[in-house]
A and B are shown apart, each in its own frame.
Chain A
Amino acid sequence: MGVLMGQALVNGILLGGIYAAYSAGFSLIFGVMGVVNLAHGELVMLGAFITYWIFFLFRFDPFLTIPVSFAVLFVLGYLLQRLIINRVIEEPPIMSYLATFGLHLIIANIALLWWPADFRTVTTSYSGINFSLGGIIIPYARLATFGIALMVVGLLYYIVYKTDMGRAMQATAQDKQMARLMGIKVERVYAMTFALGAGITGLSGSLISTYFVIFPFMGMEYTITAFCVVVLGGMGYIPGVLIGGLILGILQSFAAIFLTTGISMALTFIILFLVLVIRPAGVVGKGIIE
């Protein structure tokens, strides 16, 4: 029983790292632009498929494809912001929900046309290798994924809080008009925010492809989990994704081992609902409250 508990905890922590990585972009985009990106999961899906195809066609190691999916999603994010999101950002928030939901439908269904709905996996030579620590099994690939995920969140934290671009993002998030008066090109900040958010989400998609099965309609589930992680940690508060990711990862892992996976989904929503109602600024109380 002790080993099983320990295994559930380790699985949960490893899972939480992944959750944190792909939710960070969601949190960034919400924090700076106030946009709830319902096409977020599709960005994860595209990143995962980029890795899958490069691996499948050229036999490149999935971890080496990370820069490619970052670059592709970065450019895509920049374009989406310039062509679509920018036009609705001055409208009431519902317009951005709907615009991004429209994007979700378009991207997911085009993906379904190109890549039929089969479940695919990226299985490398080292996929099954693991080491054991006091009876608890830790796969090397998952540990590496966890490390990269932490690095991604750390890097994003550095960019947002320590660089000039990041300070411009924070200024824009706090007061758009004032930022504009201070000479910040708000449109450019928005485009960079969305591009950066999309880029790290795509990168996380690459990490996910080594972990879970991938298919064109996988996106919605990831959007929902990202919602939950970001609400738990505090909307717009970047380090919060680590807290939210770990809480959710550990809870789901325990629920999946001791109850059923279906219940772990229900648990996700119940937690999401309760946190919103009881503590909308997140567990540590540093999120943005409207």
Chain B
Amino acid sequence: MGRVGWKLWVLLGAVIIPLALVPQWGVSGYILRFLTLVFMWVALSGCWNLMSGYTGYVDFGPVVYFGIGCYTVALLMTRGGISFFAGVPIGAVVAGLIALSIGIPTLRLRGGYFAIATFAFAEGMKQIILEFDRVFGVDFFGGSHGITLPIGPTNLFFYYCMFVAALLVMGVTLWVENSKFGYALKAIHQAENTAEITGIDTAGVKMRAYGMSALLLGGIGGIYTYWITYITPQDVFSVHMTVHMVIMTLLGGMGTFLGPVVGATFLTVIEETLWARFIYTYLVIVGGIILVVVIFMPRGVVGTLKRRSLR
């Protein structure tokens, strides 16, 4: 961690320590739930950034691993009688294993083809879970009705769960940023063929990044399931979740440690305020924000600042 400046540690400490204490100050349930949501998006967009931000491989279906985590935990808890704490790691591992089998064929594809293949897998999975029960005449995934879980613990419990998830993803990112593994990822982003010639096992490195991202996404999905207690395929495999991860990371800056954190926080706050005020036009406004960012700030907030400080 030699390259991480003391300024960053001070900054992180100044934000993380108060956030760890916030629930003790007796804030309202609304604020607590809202912050939990912010943490979730920080964690989710951080996962996308780990894979796509660093390698430049645009994954358009990360939501599938989130959804797999959701369904694994929901099924384990409702049908398997397994506790939440055991379920989340199992959900993460299931997502990770599926990512391994999907990653081998898809990671050979480049550019738009990788994006479309991952998108197709995510949408295909959603349709399969939606239709599985009807086609095989069983009652397993619950089709479009989804699965309802028993009511869980308090908001405070999930506040800390998501807080830890976000910190975990940030910690992994920080490690990647300064490790040999991270340099290999960045090398793939800049010139994959050259990276391969220099002796980097590009296929293996991409696979590890993809699997790691899926593992974390699965775990976050597991927490989300018990928090919301009601999941449907349309919700947890929604393409809009993918798009959110992408936009938040892009807004903050792809392939940077702070990018997803800044982007996720900013967009969640903006959406919460806009959604309440402009209920009919808020998606138009979100679309406008995307266009403005893409056209005027393609490197994101953190990326733009970094570039400026380098000059």
Residues of A that sit less than 8 Å from B by CB: 30, 34, 36, 84, 87-88, 91-95, 97-99, 101-106, 108-110, 113, 220, 224, 227-228, 231, 235, 259-260, 262-263, 265-266, 269-270, 272-273, 276-277, 280, 289-290
Contact = CB atoms under 8 A, between A and B. Distances in A.
Contacts of A273: 117, 120-121, 124
Contacts, number: 126
Interface in B58-84: 58, 60
A217 B115 CA distance: 23
A276 B281 contact: no
Interface of B: 56, 58, 60, 105-106, 108-113, 115-117, 119-121, 123-124, 127-128, 130-131, 134-135, 239, 243, 246-247, 250, 280-281, 283-284, 286-291, 293-295, 298
Contact of A102 (B113, B135, B294): B294
Contacts of B110: 290
B287 A102 contact: yes
Contacts of B124: 266, 269-270, 272-273
Among A227, A235, A259, A269, residue most surrounded by chain B Cβ atoms (within 10 Å): A269
Given A109-B287, A269-B121, A280-B113, A99 B294 contact: yes
Given A98-B290, A260-B135, A269-B123, A276 B113 contact: yes
B142 to A, nearest CB: 14
19 contacts: A36-B115, A36-B116, A91-B294, A93-B112, A94-B115, A97-B112, A97-B115, A98-B250, A98-B294, A109-B287, A227-B119, A262-B134, A263-B127, A266-B131, A270-B120, A273-B121, A276-B116, A277-B105, A290-B112
A84 B295 contact: yes
Contacts of A102: 287-291, 294
Nearest to B106: A277
B127 A265 contact: yes
Among B58, B116, B290, residue most surrounded by chain A Cβ atoms (within 10 Å): B116
A173 B202 CA distance: 29
Nearest to B132: A266
A224 B288 CA distance: 23
Given A84-B295, A99-B291, A113 B128 contact: no
B151 to A, nearest CB: 31
The prevalent SS among residues of A at the interface is helix
Contacts of B58: 93-94, 97
The 7 closest A-B pairs by CB, nearest first: A269-B124, A105-B287, A102-B290, A266-B127, A106-B287, A272-B120, A290-B111
B51 to A, nearest CB: 13
Contact of B113 (A106, A262, A265, A290): A290
Given A220-B239, A290-B112, 8 more contacts: A36-B115, A91-B298, A105-B287, A106-B291, A235-B112, A266-B124, A273-B120, A290-B110
Contacts of A231: 116
Contact of A272 (B112, B116, B294): B116
A147 to B, nearest CB: 31
A266 B113 CA distance: 19
B295 A266 contact: no
